[in-house]
Structure 1
């Protein structure tokens, strides 16, 4: 039996590009994602003209998580779900800095969950019951209705195969008055040629790892699921230049990873934070 068939049986239901990237390739431990996070970073207040090291990179990733957690509203004494939690570093930040009741990290990839439990072993031991990790898909969450006060997702929605399913599940697991905050990169608008443009510029779209959709697709899905106060904010100016400056450590101008900034400057791609509320 081939290795591809073995992997398919080991992780059924996970798209092949996602299975490889977050399984054997272990994206979270690649040098560009130092600090234990897997996100492009929020670079406001970081001098991009000077040399960028691991400290600046980690600060940018922490800042992106804090931006999303702040956008979700007060977290103190609330139950928080992080969809697409990766290595669990954002869950740890939320638990140690924001005073929630519990933080649950959910990921579709069992390899990532194993890494998260290993990476956060000390915190899991120090705060039993307050931090946990569970396997689940964005469009099929393994919890009962009204299990959480807050749902967040940081740079995972570009992989979700079904935004309508994610929105419906988010609305279901949120308690009345609960909030959701999602950040990721999306096509800048609904122009029909955007998927082809993105696939031509960026290998992650060409390979199927990232799915080209406008941010209005997520906002519309949240609205259709019954959530209200849906708000979309671009934070591209605080993401793309810093991400490109960081990538310049490994890739020369004109190579495909540097095309993230190009796609933004050409109005093809942007980075957004989307928030919504489940009404009472």
Structure 2
């Protein structure tokens, strides 16, 4: 629905353009598997250093956690906001069997990579998978077009959570569900942005934006969504992620300070869900 619908030309912040374009974060070995997420490590043995298979499983399991939270059903039409390389879209199709999945991303280079990566799947299921360009705050879609809107580790980049929530409410059908997984500050204390900038390069350079999880939950409620729930899952994310990073990074260095920010009670990882009333 990108053709003729506002949203595909929405501007990107320069740091986002560089990180997911020329810098190609997906090529970094710490993101082996191509999902570009920190992972959900609940099924990984905490007594053993994780290897590449465990790392890839953690990334796939984070998607499964979110797709389960969205309660996908066979007839559903699903939108993933911030789809990156589209691996989560493919996992949703292959394991959950919805009617169709659309991957939305603001970055044209990521979309090109996604289409190249999933050439066979796009050819085999042209009516069930597609990738479109657009921003979370201005989604190129008609009203009430989707049964589920999901987003995995992208909301920390969204400049305007209120606009995203309003768009999610607009494009969801009555009874539709949204599930978002990302990392947020634990509260709105004014010291949080500075603390995170001191600890983590991605907050210092503006790639990640320091907002409390309540900002998204409240935005969903203000947009008219109901049954808004916030689930902290940091215990399943940060320790496993840190063990994986220890293969390359010394303790106390970036990006192992994500665990420190969690242990210091500054930052956590959350799943936020909501429903559009019937």
Which of 57, 60, 71 is the aligned partner of 2:58?
60
Which of 146, 149, 152 is the aligned partner of 2:147?
149
Q: How far apart in 2 are the matches of 1:27 and 1:213?
A: 23
Q: Helix, strand or coil for the counterpart of 1:151?
A: strand
**RMSD over equivalenced CA pairs, Å:** 1.0
Provide TM-score, normalisation by structure 2.
Answer: 0.96
| CA shift digits 1:123-152 (9 cap, x unpaired) | 111111100000000000011100100000
Alignment of 1:112-131 (within 5 A): 112-131=110-129
1:267 positional shift:
0.0
1:52 positional shift:
1.6
Alignment of 1:194-209 (within 5 A): 194-209=192-207
| CA shift digits 1:62-115 (9 cap, x unpaired) | 000000000001331100000000000000000011010000000000000000
Q: Helix, strand or coil for the counterpart of 1:177?
A: strand
| CA shift digits 1:21-79 (9 cap, x unpaired) | 00001001211111120100000121133232110000000000000000001331100
Alignment of 1:175-190 (within 5 A): 175-190=173-188
2:36 alignment counterpart: 38
2:88 counterpart of 1:87: no
Q: Can you give the 5+ residue segments of structure 2 that lack an aligned partner in the other structure?
A: 1-8
Moved more, 43-52 or 31-40: 43-52
Q: Helix, strand or coil for the counterpart of 1:246?
A: helix
Instruction: Check whether the contact 2:10–2:106 (CA below 8 A) recurs between aligned residues.
Output: no
Provide TM-score, normalisation by structure 1.
Answer: 0.95
Q: How far apart in 2 are the matches of 1:51 and 1:214?
A: 32
1:7 alignment counterpart: none
Q: How far apart in 2 are the matches of 1:16 and 1:260?
A: 23
Q: How far apart in 2 are the matches of 1:140 and 1:22?
A: 19
Q: How far apart in 2 are the matches of 1:33 and 1:152?
A: 20
Moved more, 35-44 or 47-56: 47-56
Which of 166, 169, 172 is the aligned partner of 2:167?
169
1:99 alignment counterpart: 97
Q: How far apart in 2 are the matches of 1:206 and 1:143?
A: 33
Q: Which has the higher contact order (CA 8 A, sep 6+)?
A: 2
Q: Can you give the 5+ residue segments of structure 1 that lack an aligned partner in the other structure?
A: 1-10
Instruction: Check whether the contact 2:10–2:135 (CA below 8 A) recurs between aligned residues.
Output: no
More helix by share: 1
Q: Helix, strand or coil for the counterpart of 1:257?
A: coil
| CA shift digits 1:229-273 (9 cap, x unpaired) | 000000000000001011111111121211000000000000000
Q: Helix, strand or coil for the counterpart of 2:195?
A: helix
- Work out the number of aligned pairs and report it: 270
2:261 alignment counterpart: 263
1:190 positional shift:
1.5
Q: Helix, strand or coil for the counterpart of 1:150?
A: strand
Instruction: Check whether the contact 2:10–2:134 (CA below 8 A) recurs between aligned residues.
Output: no
1:12 positional shift:
6.8
Q: How far apart in 2 are the matches of 1:22 and 1:192?
A: 29
Q: Say if 1:102 and 1:189 are closer, same or farther in 2 by CA, change over 3 A.
A: same
